[in-house]
Amino acid sequence: MSDWWLIGLVGFLSFVLTAALRRYALAHSIIDVPIARSSHSVPTPRGGGVAIVVSFLIALPLLGWAEEVSFDTLMAAGGAGALVAVIGFMDDHGHIAARWRLLGHFCASVWALYWLGGLPEVTLFGMTVDAGWSGGVLAAFYLVWMLNLYNFMDGIDGIASVEAICVCLGMGLLCALSGHTGLVLLPLVLAVAVAGFLCWNFPPARIFMGDAGSGFLGIILGVFSLQAAWASSQLLWAWLILLGVFIVDATFTLTRRLLRGDKVYEAHRSHAYQFASRRYGRHLPVTLAVAGLNLFWLLPVAACVVLLGVDGAVGVVVAYVPLVALALKFHAGELEKTDATQGSV
């Protein structure tokens, strides 16, 4: 079976479904209306990320039938992704209490880990670490954090889509060059599904992703990274490096807000990328900067880890230092009143 026709079909389906979802959202007033804590100024339909979910999930069983994807991977990614997407879809159309959303997220994570086999041995600063059952607990929290941070970072036009495409294509390239060709196809299919949606979400966005799409991307990328860990510990570190922009901004912001005693479940605009978009008055420069960081900084560092044998943990530290500096520069986690002193738009 040639995979190229399926990859093309996924992109086309995602594009068409996004257009249909936009019409549906406009007809049923499923609109994000700007409020004081919004990063946009024009009412915009939301929920377009469902197109990514549907097109990717349709591709999974076809790839499984063609024996391109193992049954365990199909169950892990498909089951966990579908559950998170349903929870996000319900939250997009109403409100689900945070505790019930979190419970659903942990259920999805446990489901994925059951089919993946948990967390394998990981090489950490030259030492092989087998965390056993505690590694499984850590991996569950990792997946839950991944899907939530992706939701947090989906706050300006195109940023979540561009991040997913850059990370998936980058990892696909590294897996191909390192001989792990069996790990190339799924990230490529996801990248194409996101690209179909991005045609409608690129700044200025005509539709937003919504919780269903952002949460789905977060947990699927997390599942891909743990799947890769079973093939090579270096590939896990490479995933963490390429996801660095989102991981650093979200984690740095959350940590600062926790230390300040903020209610972290409340909406806010204190991520570094949000401060940056207000400083420059547009979303496009920030979204393009994320693509540039992935292409010209994080991908080369990840390549050194995968292709040149640089210690993975050292690679993460090296990759994250400039990202932390950027988080500080753009006031990640600070009170929003700092906008007034920055000349923000």
Q: Where are the beta strands (DSSP E) in the chain?
A: 31-32, 44-45, 122-124, 127-129
The mean pLDDT of the chain is 91
List, as residue ranges, the binding site: 151, 211
Closest by CA position to 295, among listed 193, 167, 204, 186: 167
pLDDT block averages, 10 residues each, the chain of length 345:
81 97 89 63 86 97 92 96 95 83 96 96 88 91 96 94 98 97 96 97 94 96 97 97 98 92 79 93 95 98 97 97 96 70 35
Residue 122: φ, ψ to 5°: -125, 140
High-pLDDT (> 90) share of the chain, % = 76
Provide the pLDDT for residue 203: 93
Predicted TM-score of the model (pTM): 0.93
Provide the pLDDT for residue 291: 98
Q: Six-digit token pair at 103?
A: 């419970």
CA distance 172 to 180: 9
CA distance 156 to 52: 18
Provide the pLDDT for residue 288: 97
List, as residue ranges, the binding site for Mg(2+): 151, 211
pLDDT, tens digit (0-9, with 9 covering 90-100), for 257-287? 998 888 777 778 899 999 999 999 899 999 9
User: b/e map of 199-226 (b: 16 or more CB within 10 Å)?
Assistant: ebbbbebbbbbbbbbbbbbbbbbbbbbb
* DSSP state string for 226-278: HHHHHH-HHHHHHHHHHTHHHHHHHHHHHHHHHHHT--TTS----SHHHHHHH
